[in-house]
Structure 1
Amino acid sequence: MSTGVAEKTQKTVGGIRRKFAPWTDPKAVPLIRYQNVTKRFGSFTAVEDLSLDIYEREFFALLGPSGCGKTTLMRMLAGFEEPTSGRITLAGQDLVGTPPYKRPVNMMFQSYALFPHMSVWDNIAFGLKQDGVAKDATAARVEEMLKLVKLEQFARRKPHQLSGGQRQRVALARSLAKRPKVLLLDEPLGALDKKLREETQFELMDIQMELGMTFLIVTHDQEEAMTVADRIAVMNHGKLVQVAPPAVIYEQPASRYVADFVGDVNLIEGKVESNAGGLVRVHAAAADMSLTIAQDIQAQPGDAAWIAVRPEKVRIDLDPPADRSVNCVSGTIWDIGYLGDLSIYHVELADGSRIKAAKPNLTRMVERPISWDDKVWISWSPDAGVVLTS
């Protein structure tokens, strides 16, 4: 087989947003480095012995539930908090002890914090004027920022005369006007409605790539992190649980916590029966059968294990599948959620446990729709799930 054909047929984990992966290059030098950073507030440890590298031009996301330490991690980079121990460096410079206004970073807050008595133009120009930038240079930079966020016609309006999305753009333009090395985004889209939030996510991505800047975003919204980020750091109780591109986080979670926190998932508990040749067989008590997963994993027969399979990878039918190589189990429809583009089916197995299956609604009319109390067969291929041992 030629190299070209091999490249075309090679399988990868999910798609990628852009060909940008300096973290895979051992020669690449990180722009930001957290080295064994710990932050305590009295007896409470917000961040515990954490080390993390972030690269230039990367759109990086800190993702986790409230109280996991993600905002504290960002505030230490901004200079609003100092680490109890450890080092934080930016472009090789140790930031510990450097006041916020002397750091080459800027922060965009969830509340936007715009000056209500100033126009859009003056809000964007504020930081430049504070730094003593010449009038001509300030005017040119403000015009550049207005064009970047598509608000040229709103330059003389006050914040109260703008929509929520427009205010968000003004705050972004003000944060970018000083051309920081790193832009910090603290839940920046939380105040927007769902549709506008989705549109703004793509605008943020376009602006970040156009400027070639490093963006660090803090969010508890898994979908937002998956959309905008080159890499995601999933946090829990002040520690990093997994750091990887979105597709790897979703398709190859490192633990049950990651699998359950990012997206929807079925977790089927069992014990490893065999592990050889890239195939792991797990006996699942819920299904009372052996399930096969195509995966290379360090596990021994008898080890506790969980099969994680996403609902959209589970096929649901009224008849048993013809393909005998798939994992298959029967059950009864317990509940149905119609979401327009797809339907979510909750299938109850013989032992009372439930598995979710997602089925896209490809046509408006269905000859024999699956309904409540129907006996159904759910199945998934060996490469659709992963085996987790922690």
Structure 2
Amino acid sequence: MRRALVSRDDHDTPMVRFDAVTRRFAEVTAVDALSLDIRAGEFFALLGPSGCGKTTLLRMLAGFERPDDGRILLAGQDIAAVPPWRRPVNMMFQSYALFPHLSVAGNVAFGLKQERLPRAEVESRVAAMLRLVRLDGLGSRKPHQLSGGQRQRVALARALAKHPKVLLLDEPLAALDKKLREETQFELMALQERLDTTFVVVTHDQEEAMTLADRIGVMNHGRLAQVGTPAEIYEQPRSRWIAGFIGDVNFFEGSVTAVDGDDVEMTDAAGRVFRAAGAPPVRTGDRITLAVRPEKISVATGSGAAEPINSVAGKVADIGYLGDISVYKVRLDDGAVIKAAVTNARRRIESSIDWDDTVRLSFPPDAAVVLTE
């Protein structure tokens, strides 16, 4: 579990500030007037689909790309004129980019030797980094003699050896298999907390971002669609696009028929009535969408008596057994398919729900998020 973020005064200087940064490539705007503050000691994730501009943003911070407009500040200092090798940041590449002719220790020491540090200090730092990533004793091996997970740790040790203020990670776990990737996520979290270094990770993997990050910046078409904690992004998405991009979600569309404070009643095209709590300001007649996560939906066998609100009946069209949960796709009379996720408290062979069964789905008003865009 991620630690709670330390409360910081709003006037504290952020470790990284992107101030209306724009980067263009010919006719394509990769990053579009983007502003973002990243706090010191934070594990921040840039999340988005391929081509959204997240890697370009990371490369500008590293100094490999220059912004066409705007400023990038590091600890309050404009770093536009600072070359990459002089910036107190280091980058761990997706491919790891290890030197095949150098040993593990040689790879970790490379940047330190470029800075002409004393030999004793280089050796001390290399030993400390290898202990930190649990590779002590493997310093004499070459990269080809290591597993994928070990090569990943060598790249991490090399990136950390120069004691950067900010560590940049570009899809750092993409080359690992699923189980090793999950294990390494928690290792990265523990390492970041131990060092209290600002980590900025780029990923297109929602689960990875949700696991690793204190906060997430969701990018789309070169802009930030939303910035928040994993819980805020998941539970309170700002738009239909964000709700659909982060995890599974069901959408119910209709018109507002009643408003009572921040409680909203909506009727869909089939005449079904839904109610949501904690809605943004809307008026009667407005078109809205309710977003409801599958795990918020209860499944009961039989069509049962129709509830007045937030209840629909249909037939089970598909079942996905995922071990800890079962996912049910239920087709309604109008052809709409609703997804519900149920925890497997009992063994699957004892499940009372099967294909083509008629079931009733329901959810409480506070499970629905009202979206107006």
Using structure 1 for the length normalisation, give the TM-score.
0.92
Report deviation, 1:140. 1.0
2:188 corresponding residue in structure 1? 204
Whole-angstrom distance in 2 between the partners of 1:178 and 1:215: 14
Shift of 1:265: 0.5
Q: Which amino acid aligns with 1:267?
A: F
Q: Which residue of 2 aligns with 1:144?
A: 128
The answer for the alignment partner of 1:372 in structure 2 is: 355
- The reply to whether residue 104 of structure 1 matches residue 88 of structure 2 is yes
Kindly provide the CA deviation profile for residues 19-68 of structure 1, in whole angstroms up to 9, marking residues without a partner as x: 21546x42332111111111111111111111000010000000000000
The one-letter code sitting in structure 1 at the alignment partner of 2:61 is: L
Give the SS at the match of 2:329.
strand
Counterpart for residue 360 of structure 1: 343
SS state at 2:82 partner = coil
Q: Quick check: 1:59 aligned with 2:4?
A: no
1:278, distance to aligned residue in structure 2 (A): 2.5
CA distance in 1, matches of 2:172, 2:304: 46
Alignment of 1:221 with 2:219, yes or no, is: no
Structure 1 CA distance for aligned equivalents of residues 274 and 308 of structure 2: 10
Residue pair 1:22, 1:55 contacting (<8 A) in 2 also? no
1:161-205 Cα deviation digits (max 9, x unpaired):
100000000000000000000000000000000000000000000
1:334 matched to 2:317? The reply is: yes
Equivalent position to 2:64, from 66, 80, 90: 80
Aligned match of 1:245 in 216, 220, 229? 229
Pick the aligned partner of 2:3 from 13, 18, 24: 18
Between the two proteins, the alignment pairs up a number of residues equal to: 373
Per-residue deviation at 1:96?
A: 1.1
1:300 alignment partner, one of 278, 283, 295: 283
Which amino acid is the alignment partner of residue 20 of structure 1? Answer: L
Hey, what's the Cα distance between the residues in 1 that align with 2:283 and 2:10?
32
For 1:246 and 1:180, locate their aligned partners in 2 and report how far apart those are by CA, in whole Å.
26
Paired-residue identity, %: 60
CA distance in 2, matches of 1:214, 1:66: 24
Q: Give 1:155-174 correspondences, 5 Å limit.
A: 155-174=139-158
Per the normalisation by structure 2, the TM-score is 0.97
1:247 is displaced (CA, Å) by: 0.3
CA–CA separation in structure 2 for the residues paired with 1:333 and 1:314: 14
Do residues 385 (structure 1) and 330 (structure 2) align? Answer: no
Structure 1 stretch 275-284 or stretch 58-67: which is displaced more?
Answer: 275-284
Do the aligned partners of residues 21 and 319 (structure 1) sit closer, same or farther apart at CA in structure 2, a change above 3 Å counting?
farther
Cα pair 2:21 2:34 within 8 Å, conserved: yes
- Does the C-alpha gap of structure 1 residues 305 and 127 become closer, same or farther in structure 2, counting only changes over 3 Å? same
3-state SS, counterpart of residue 365 of structure 2: coil
C-alpha contact 1:281 1:293 (8 A) present in aligned 2:
yes
Question: What is the CA–CA distance in structure 1 between the aligned matches of 2:337 and 2:100, rounded to whole Å?
Answer: 52
User: Alpha carbons of 1:133 and 1:334: their partners in 2 closer, same or farther (altered >3 Å)?
Assistant: same
Q: Which residue of structure 2 lines up, in the alignment, with residue 7 of structure 1? A: none
SS of 1:235's equivalent?
Answer: strand
Contact 2:303 2:314 in 1 (8 A): no
RMSD: 1.6
Greater shift, 66-75 or 360-369, is seen at 360-369
Is contact 1:321–1:379 with CA below 8 Å preserved after alignment? no
Kindly provide the amino acid, as one letter, of the partner of residue 59 in structure 2. R
Residues 280-326 of structure 1: per-residue CA shift (max 9 Å, x gap)? 1111225x311011114111111111110111111111046799686
Report how far residue 368 of structure 1 moved.
5.4
